């Protein structure tokens, strides 16, 4: 299950996609199309990278929030959800061997 904050944000984004672009950032960005949404993710990621290189922890947190928000807008645009991403991460856990090692009883 998605984190409650993410779940709330996904619901707000789904609702605001139907709003007027004049009154909503989500609606305005969505109206500009998927390539523009994807571009925003690239921009926010670069801003997070710059903050990290500068050792700016507060900046990394702020830019990460922007990045995740825009990622949620993209997922919504593609009919996907955060739960789909979590399911992918969950599936990968089994392939790394780490989950298996953690669950193995100590000898």
Backbone φ/ψ region at 55: left (φ over 0), alpha (ψ -120 to 50), beta? left
Candidates 2, 3, 4, 16: give the one binding ligand PRT (CB under 6 A): 16
**Distance in angstroms (rounded) separating the CA atoms of residues 65 and 51:** 13
Element (H, E) at 82: helix 82-96
Which residues touch 90 (CB under 8 Å, ≥6 apart)?
none
> How many chain residues interact with ligand PRT (CB under 6 A)?
11
26 binds ligand PRT (CB under 6 A): yes
- Scan residues 43-82 and list those touching ligand PRT (CB under 6 A): 66, 69
Instruction: Give me the residues that bind ligand PRT (CB under 6 A), please.
Output: 9, 12, 16, 24-27, 29, 40, 66, 69
């Amino acid at each position: 299950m998605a984190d409650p904050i993410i779940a709330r944000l996904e619901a707000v984004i789904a609702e605001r996609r139907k709003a007027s672009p004049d009154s909503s950032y989500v609606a305005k960005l969505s109206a500009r199309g998927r390539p523009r949404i994807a571009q925003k993710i690239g921009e926010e990621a670069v801003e997070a990278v710059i903050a990290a290189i500068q050792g700016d922890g507060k900046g990394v947190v702020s830019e990460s929030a922007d990045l995740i928000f825009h990622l949620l807008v993209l997922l919504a645009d593609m009919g996907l959800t955060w739960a789909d991403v979590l399911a992918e991460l969950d599936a990968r856990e089994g392939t790394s061997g780490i989950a298996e090692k953690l669950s193995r009883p100590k000898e």
